[in-house]
Amino acid sequence: MNALIEDLLDGDHRALARTITKIEDRAPGYRELVSQLHEHTGHADVIGITGSPGAGKSTLVDKMAEEYRNRGLTVGVIAIDPSSPFTGGAVLGDRIRMASNTGDMDVFFRSMSARGSLGGLSTATTDAVKALDAFGKDKVIIETVGAGQNEVDIVRMADTVAVLVPPASGDDVQMLKAGILEIADMFVVNKADLDGANRTVQELREMIEMRRDELAVATGHHGAVEKTTEVGNGAGDGTDDADAPSWSPPIVETVAKRGDGLDELLSVLDDHREYLVASGRLETKARDRYAAEIRTLLREDTADLLAEEIEARGGIEGFVDRVLDRETDPYTVADELLGPIAECVEQRRD
């Protein structure tokens, strides 16, 4: 086993930091490191925190980490930060974030820079979560920069996803209907001491009810809400088997800067974890994540292989010239480049 991994598994935080740096930089040998980590994973509770900018995600994550430490649990935090247009590094750094946990070695915080493209960051984040899991962190929190599609892709790797919504954010609530509702396991109306909080809670409730009704119609499970079992603070949404427990996203109100609502928030997170285990959804989520990870790696590796082949043949411009001169077409070019790879795969399969 690699000496760096041995140190990580022995609880060396410096080895953990170096491993995540190699992962983020895609340094030579990082794949072997992640492969060695895999057998030591599967124990951490992974929590995703997303929501619109200004919702107070960083403050809430800070308070969550502090309370988990008070309960004797270890915490790892990965914060996806906006990129500097000059250096490509994270604009927001470790020094400003997690102020309550400065100096606590059992709260490991890492900012990961989006570097202008969040799409490729999802793989690095997945690998970083594995490092924190293998290290032995009880709770791993992923905080994303916003609530767009790319951030949704990143936060899908969490077992539980909490979506933060600031008060009086009618536009934000409308935006949630476009897709993020599907991944939300709970909603947090943060800054609940501000005007508009009650209205936001009501809008979220209406949205959840509407979604539940739409699912009931789509699946034909009319009346399933009454038949399903309530787990923790979540009521059934009618999407699971009638005899199985199911979950509907609860709404929690918090004032993160004061710690108000924190106990209820952590209680709901615990409830959802219990639901995942009891319903078998925890394993289902893991299977879905691994399937998505394998597909992503295959796409990335195939793209790299084809890029090398194109360069070996003189670069893309030569193919473009032939297409412009009507000597060939893009489909034929793709077939020409992929043909040898397809033949090799077929031969190996036989």
What's the pLDDT tens digit per position in 264-321?
A: 999 999 999 999 999 999 999 999 999 999 998 999 999 999 999 999 999 999 999 9
Instruction: For residue 18, give Cα distances in angstroms to 8, 93, 98, 108, 261.
Output: 9, 17, 20, 13, 36
Mean pLDDT of 76-83: 81
**Could you tell me the sign of the dihedral formed by the alpha carbons of 184, 172, 254, 229, in that order?**
negative
Q: What angle do CA 31, 98, 136 make, to 5 degrees?
A: 40
- Res 228: pLDDT: 37
What is the amino acid identity at position 33?
A: L
- Res 312: pLDDT: 94
Residue ranges covered by each domain of the chain: 40-279, 297-349
CA distance 285 to 270: 17
CA distance 189 to 155: 19
Q: What's the pLDDT band for 211 if we cut at 50, 70, 90?
A: confident
- Res 196: pLDDT: 87
Question: Is the predicted pLDDT of residue 333 greater than 50, yes or no?
Answer: yes
Q: Which residues contact 212 (CB under 8 A, 6 or more apart)?
A: 225, 237, 238, 248
Q: Which two tokens stand for residue 222?
A: 């009319």
> From 2.40.128.20, 3.40.50.150, 3.40.50.300, 3.40.47.10, which CATH number describes the 40-279 domain?
3.40.50.300
Range of weakest confidence among 10-14, 100-104, 128-132, 263-267: 100-104
- Res 220: pLDDT: 67
DSSP 327: S
The larger pLDDT score, comparing residue 350 to residue 47, is at: 47
| Element spanning 218, H or E | helix 197-219
Range of weakest confidence among 144-148, 190-194, 241-245, 311-315: 241-245
Pairing of strands 186-189, 139-143: unpaired
CA distance 62 to 76: 11
Mean pLDDT of 315-340: 96
Give yes or no for a contact between 57 and 169, defined as CB atoms under 8 angstroms apart: no
Closest CA to 65 of 141, 145, 160, 161: 141
Question: Is the predicted pLDDT of residue 139 greater than 80, yes or no?
Answer: yes
| Element spanning 23, H or E | helix 13-25
Mean pLDDT of 220-231: 44
Closest CA to 61 of 33, 101, 113: 101
Q: What pTM, to 2 d.p., does this model score?
A: 0.84
- Res 147: pLDDT: 57
- Res 172: pLDDT: 60
Closest CA to 134 of 18, 9, 33: 9
Question: Is the predicted pLDDT of residue 93 greater than 90, yes or no?
Answer: no
